[in-house]
Structure 1
Amino acid sequence: MAKKNTRNTKGKIISAAWKLFYDQGYDDTTVDEIVEESGTSKGSFYHYFDGKDALLSSLSFLFDEKYEELKETLQEDDSAIDQLIYLNQELFLMIENSISVDLLARLFSSQLITRGDRHLLDQDRTYYKLLRKILQEGQQKGELRRDLSINEIIKTYAMLERGLMYDWCLCNGDYSLAQYAKRVLPMMLAVYKDCDA
C-alpha cells in the first residue's frame, strides 16, 4: 500500500509539472506552482526530486503511465505489428498534444549528458515489458521472425521510435509526428514479419 501511495504522489508531481511545462513553458514554471498544481507539499517534491531540472528525466514515467492505460485497450486478435503501430500512434498523439518540442528535446539532451540512470533505457519500464510481451506472443503465433531474438527486435524498435522523436525535435515539430510515423513505421516493421506466415 505504501508503494502505491509513493507512486501516486510522485505521479501527481510529474503529471502536474509536465502539464505546467506544456501550458506555460519550462522556464516560466516554478517548483511552488508544481507543488500547488499537484496538491502535494514542497517536502514531497524534494523527497523525489533535487529540483525542477530533475523532472526532465521523468518524461519516461509519463510515457509509461500512458502505456499502462493503453495495454488495457490492446486487441488480442491484432497482430504484434498492428499492436506496436497502435501503441506508437497513441503515444505520438499524446506527445504532439501535451509535450512541447522544446521539452522533448531537453529530455533527449539530459539523457545524453547524464551520468546516472538513463531512464529511457531502463528495461524495467512498462514500455519494455509491454514490448517484450507483444513480441513474444507474435513469435509464438508465427507472425514474427524467429532468427532474431526478442532483445534484438526490442532494441531496434526502441531506437526507431527514439529516432522518429529526435528527428521531429530537430525539425522543430514542423510536421505531424504521429502522421509521419503512421506512414513509415509499417514499412520499417515489415522486416520483422515471418515470410512464411
Structure 2
Amino acid sequence: MMKKENKQSRGKMTQKRILETALKLFTEKGYDKVTVDEICEKSESSKGSFYQHFSSKSTIFLVKFFEVDNHYAQVIEAMPEDIDVYEKISIFFHEALCIINDQMGKDLMKVIYSSALVSNDHTYFLNKDRELTRIFISFAEEIQRNQPIDSASQVEDLLMMMSQTMMGVIYYWSVSQDDRKLPELAQYVTKTMIKGLKSLNEVHLP
C-alpha cells in the first residue's frame, strides 16, 4: 500500500512539474512556439511521462482549468445557503475572477485565448465536464425554477449568458492595456448581466 501511495505521489509531482514548466514556457514564448520536446527537456521529464499525464499539448490548459475548477467548487461550498440565486451569482463571479486574476494571470490568459482562436483543439472553455459548467447550470436551473411558468427562458440560454459574460470580460482584460485587476474591471459587466437575468421573464428569447 505504501509503495502504491509513493508511486501516486511521485506521479502527481511529475504532472505538476510538467504543468508548471509548460505554462511558464507558453507565457514566455507563446503556445505555438513551444514543443512537447522542449517541455520535457525543461521539466526534466521523459516523453513517456508527459503522455502519461497529458494526451496532447493542448490538454495542459484543460488540466489547469480543472485544477482551477476545484477552487470554484470551494467557493460554492462556502457560500451562504440563505441568499437568492442572483446574490450567489454575484459572489461567485467576483470570487472566480479573483482566482483567474491571482492564479492564472493576464499574460497566461492572453496566451490561452490566442491559442484558442487559431486551433480547434482548445475546447476547455465550454467543456461540459468542467465544474464551472456544472455551477452555471445549477444557477440556471435555480433561476428557471423561480421564473413564471410561461417564461421563455431555458437553461441553455441562461448558461450561454453567464458563460459569454465571463469569457468576454476575461478576454477584454487579457488583451487590453487596462491596469485594473480583473474583479474590479468586471464589476459593471457582472451587475449588468445579473440585471438581464432578473428581467428574462419579460424577454422572449428565440
Q: TM-score range by the shorter chain?
A: 0.7 to 0.9
SS in 2 for 1:107: helix
State which of 87, 110, 127 in structure 2 corresponds to 1:105: 110
Q: Structure 1's 9 and 76: CA in aligned 2 closer, same or farther, altered over 3 A?
A: farther
- For the aligned residue pairs, the C-alpha RMSD in angstroms reads 3.7
Give the aligned partner of residue 146 of structure 2.
141
Aligned amino acid, residue 63 of structure 1: V
1:17 maps onto 2:22 in alignment: no
TM-score when normalising by structure 2 = 0.71
Cα distance in 2 for partners of 1:67, 1:77 equals 19
Cα distance in 1 for partners of 2:28, 2:128 equals 28
- Structure 1 residues without counterparts, runs of 5 or longer: none
1:68 maps onto 2:78 in alignment: no
* C-alpha deviation, 1:184, in angstroms: 2.6
Aligned amino acid, residue 78 of structure 2: T
SS in 1 for 2:74: helix
Show the 5 A alignment for 1:26-105.
26-27=28-29, 30-31=39-40, 34=43, 43-49=48-54, 54-105=59-110
1:128 maps onto 2:129 in alignment: no
Cα distance in 2 for partners of 1:195, 1:152 equals 10
* C-alpha deviation, 1:56, in angstroms: 3.3
Q: Deviations over 1:21-51 (max 9, x none)?
A: 46xx545995466578xxxx86443212266
Q: Structure 1's 75 and 99: CA in aligned 2 closer, same or farther, altered over 3 A?
A: same
SS in 1 for 2:129: coil
- Structure 2 residues without counterparts, runs of 5 or longer: 1-6, 202-206
* C-alpha deviation, 1:54, in angstroms: 4.4
Preserved contact between residue 61 and residue 124 of structure 2 (Cα < 8 Å): no
Preserved contact between residue 165 and residue 177 of structure 1 (Cα < 8 Å): yes
* C-alpha deviation, 1:9, in angstroms: 5.3
Cα distance in 2 for partners of 1:33, 1:185 equals 40
Q: Structure 1's 16 and 50: CA in aligned 2 closer, same or farther, altered over 3 A?
A: closer
TM-score when normalising by structure 1 = 0.74
Bigger shift: 160-169 or 60-69?
A: 60-69
Cα distance in 1 for partners of 2:40, 2:182 equals 30
Larger radius of gyration: 2
SS in 1 for 2:83: coil
Cα distance in 1 for partners of 2:87, 2:21 equals 30
Aligned amino acid, residue 155 of structure 1: M
1:163 maps onto 2:168 in alignment: yes
Q: Structure 1's 17 and 93: CA in aligned 2 closer, same or farther, altered over 3 A?
A: same
Cα distance in 2 for partners of 1:177, 1:74 equals 21
SS in 1 for 2:184: helix
